[in-house]
């Protein structure tokens, strides 16, 4: 952008000099050189604009790719959170220090709690598949 401003200023100065009607005939060669320089600067300015447009396009493309990667990671994190929430609830329930909890008296109560947590995760997985979260 800075280069474009500088070229615009130089272009306007050269255009004024090349189009100056009050200059005498002794500056004909200078005016012709100014016109050539003006054409070259206009070409250079167009190329600078094209490079800036390409850079902007590339920046947009990189931002889109980063957003896609970020969305993919967030999607995976959301699925994992949904799958691990039911077992967390089950372990929280069986981890309470209160009396009268189911499977407390048996020797293999932890197996039952693990199976309930696993079953809850499988049910959540099936529900997510049915709702179309894995398409």
Whether residue 3 has pLDDT greater than 90: no
Tens digit of each residue's pLDDT (9 = 90 or more) over 91-129? 888 777 777 778 777 778 888 888 988 999 999 999 999
Single pTM value for the model: 0.57
Domain tally, the chain: 1
pLDDT for residue 23: 60
CA atoms within 13 A on the CB side of 112: 11
Range of the domain at 31: 2-131
Tens digit of each residue's pLDDT (9 = 90 or more) over 37-83? 888 888 888 888 899 999 999 999 999 999 999 999 999 999 999 99
pLDDT for residue 24: 63
Buried residues in 31-54 as b, exposed as e (16+ CB within 10 A): beebeeebeebeeebeeeeeeeee
């Amino acid at each position: 952008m800075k280069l474009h401003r500088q070229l615009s200023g130089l272009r306007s100065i050269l255009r004024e000099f090349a189009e100056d009607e009050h200059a005498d005939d002794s500056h004909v060669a200078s005016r012709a050189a100014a016109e050539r320089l003006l054409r070259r600067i206009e070409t250079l300015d167009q190329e600078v604009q094209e490079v800036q447009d390409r850079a902007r396009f590339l920046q947009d493309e990189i931002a889109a790719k980063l957003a896609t990667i970020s969305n993919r990671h967030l999607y995976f994190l959301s699925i994992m959170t949904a799958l691990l929430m039911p077992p967390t609830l089950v372990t929280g329930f069986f981890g309470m220090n209160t009396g009268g909890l189911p499977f407390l008296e048996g020797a293999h109560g932890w197996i039952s709690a693990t199976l309930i947590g696993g079953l809850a995760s499988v049910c959540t997985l099936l529900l997510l598949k049915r709702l179309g979260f894995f398409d």
